[in-house]
């Protein structure tokens, strides 16, 4: 089961990807899906369908044969622990289906991160899916932003669909509409640009050109590297992870900081960057560096293996921020820190390239990270940062 909740951080690798390094690309256009129609799944309450997605109220164990005959492969539940009297997860998984939990109960728990998680799940996996709660009230609510922001359906039509599906709580409706309007006002892309990571997995990646690009004084995180390192507060003997290490700029600086009794894991999806970091560490005599070629859906580090994680100009490339950040959370020891450096994205102020390249602003990214369970500690002002910001988080337990 995959559970998206602030308190229970259980992750089963499956459909979510990917941790990415820095890149460019053009956003693709998602086609508008089929219209929402009434449907039937055994005796399941309040069933509607849109293409291969079923939007429903609660089903029973007796409905599982009908669900399997409908070629459903995954069930996403919005219900919280204790709402269902029987063991739904066990029944679903025993039937060979995937069970995903994105629980919320009441408007106060309906956060931006809930909307983001549902949008991610529905966008990136086209298998037969049931999205359900008790009556479909919550289902209609989370359907609304997905339909507008990711499928291009006019707001008026999507709102009507949401109510047909089951949305009836005015506070839910208000939060969904507020989220949609804020995202539209920010011009937030529905996803990172298509092909953003392609060049990094290219076996012919020109590493030298990226060294020149990433390690020049015109790049803020290079020019301010020593102040950034001081702000990180990494101590000698620490075990740290440089997530999205790229050419190894900060990997080598962190290696010097932790010293011979510490260790640095340089994590990236680019095989050529990994080979470059290995060669660089050997040439510089830095024997406390391990380069990690990560999977697309994980930082690929063991649980509680590091005290500090560093993500520099990379978070906005996480196509699946919940899954990727959750893997970092698992890799940190209790009390461990996460530092995220990324670009300010402010419509009307930021460069056009940033507005098209970075999918969301600082507040959205912070909310996503906190939703995983990280506690926000502080924003550190770095002299020389005009387009970048520095956020510190802590894993409390």
What CATH number has the domain bearing residue 297? Answer: 3.40.50.150
Distance CA 331, CA 320 (A): 17
Whole-Å CA distances, 48 to 12, 51, 147, 164 = 28, 10, 14, 9
Q: Are residues 389 and 252 in the same domain?
A: yes
- Could you tell me the CATH number of the domain that includes residue 136? 3.90.190.10
Q: Do 387 and 317 fall into the same domain?
A: yes
128 found inside a domain: yes
Buried b (16+ CB within 10 A) or exposed e, 206-225: ebeebbeebeeeebbbbebb
* Count helices and strands in the chain by DSSP H and E runs: 14, 14
Do both 202 and 181 map to the same domain? no
Residue 279 near residue 285, CB atoms below 8 Å: no
50 and 123 inside one domain: yes
53 and 182 together in one domain: yes
Beta pairing class for 48-50 and 53-56: antiparallel
Bridge pairing between strands 129-132 and 74-77: parallel
Asked if residue 62 and residue 161 are part of one domain, the reply reads yes
289: in domain:
yes
Instruction: Mark which of 186, 214, 235 sits at the end of a domain.
Output: 186
- CA 216 to centroid of chain Cα atoms: 29
Q: Tens-of-pLDDT digits for all 397 residues of the chain?
A: 555 443 332 222 232 233 333 333 333 333 334 789 999 999 999 999 998 899 999 999 999 999 999 999 999 999 998 999 999 999 999 999 999 999 999 999 999 989 988 998 887 666 799 999 999 999 999 999 999 888 878 888 899 999 999 999 999 999 999 999 888 776 555 456 666 667 787 889 899 999 988 998 889 999 999 999 999 999 999 999 999 999 999 999 999 999 999 999 999 989 999 999 999 999 999 999 999 998 777 899 999 999 999 999 999 888 777 778 989 999 999 999 999 999 998 888 889 888 888 888 898 899 889 988 999 999 999 999 999 999 999 998 8
**Crossing angle for the helix pair 137-145 and 112-124, nearest 10 degrees?**
80
Q: Do 223 and 173 lie in a common domain?
A: no
Provide the pairing of β-strand 129-132 with 289-293.
Answer: unpaired
Same domain? 353 vs 381 = yes
Domains in the chain, number: 2
Residue range of the domain that includes 181: 29-186
Please indicate, yes or no, if residue 181 is contained in any of the structural domains.
Answer: yes
From the list 7, 20, 8, 72, the residue with the least C-alpha distance to 324 is 20
Q: State whether 273 and 375 are in the same domain.
A: yes
- The distance between the two most distant Cα atoms of the chain, rounded to a whole number of Å, is 67
Domain boundary residue among 162, 186, 210? 186
**Residue 70 counted as domain residue:** yes
In this structure, the answer to whether residues 168 and 215 fall within a common structural domain is: no
Which one of 158, 186, 214 terminates a domain? 186
**Torsion region of 27: left, alpha or beta (phi above 0 gives left; psi -120 to 50 gives alpha):** beta
């Amino acid at each position: 089961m995959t559970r998206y909740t602030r308190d229970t951080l259980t992750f089963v690798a499956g459909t979510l990807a990917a941790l990415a390094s820095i890149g460019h690309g053009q956003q693709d256009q998602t086609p508008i899906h089929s219209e929402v129609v009434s449907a039937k799944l055994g005796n399941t309450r309040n069933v509607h369908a849109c293409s291969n997605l079923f939007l429903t109220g609660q089903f029973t164990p007796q409905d599982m044969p009908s669900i399997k005959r409908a070629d459903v492969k995954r069930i996403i539940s919005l219900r919280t622990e204790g709402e269902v009297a029987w063991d739904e997860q066990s029944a679903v998984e025993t039937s060979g289906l995937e069970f995903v939990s994105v629980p919320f109960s009441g408007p106060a728990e309906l956060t931006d991160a809930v909307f983001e998680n549902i949008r991610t799940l529905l966008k990136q996996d086209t298998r037969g899916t049931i999205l359900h709660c008790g009556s479909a009230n919550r289902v209609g609510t989370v359907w609304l932003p997905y339909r507008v922001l990711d499928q291009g359906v006019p707001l008026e039509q999507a709102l009507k669909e949401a109510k047909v599906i089951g949305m009836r709580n005015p506070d839910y409706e208000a939060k969904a509409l507020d989220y949609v309007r804020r995202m539209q006002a920010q011009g937030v892309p529905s996803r990172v640009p298509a092909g953003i990571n392609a060049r990094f997995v290219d076996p012919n990646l020109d590493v030298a050109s990226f060294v020149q690009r990433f390690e020049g004084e015109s790049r803020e995180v290079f020019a301010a590297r020593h102040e950034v390192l001081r702000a990180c507060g990494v101590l000698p003997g620490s075990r740290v992870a440089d997530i999205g290490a790229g050419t190894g700029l900060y990997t080598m600086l962190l290696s010097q900081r932790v010293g011979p009794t510490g260790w640095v894991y340089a994590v990236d999806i680019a095989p050529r960057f990994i080979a470059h970091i290995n060669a660089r560490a050997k040439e510089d005599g830095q024997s406390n560096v391990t380069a990690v070629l990560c999977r697309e859906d994980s930082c690929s580090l063991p649980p509680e293996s590091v005290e500090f994680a560093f993500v520099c100009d990379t978070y906005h490339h996480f196509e699946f921020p919940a899954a990727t950040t959750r893997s970092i959370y698992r890799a940190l020891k209790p009390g461990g820190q996460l530092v995220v450096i990324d670009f300010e994205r402010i419509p009307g102020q930021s460069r056009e390239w940033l507005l098209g390249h970075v999918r969301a602003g600082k507040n959205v990214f912070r909310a996503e990270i906190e939703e995983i369970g990280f506690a926000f500690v502080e924003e550190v002002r770095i002299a020389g940062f005009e387009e970048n910001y520095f956020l510190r988080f802590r894993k409390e337990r």
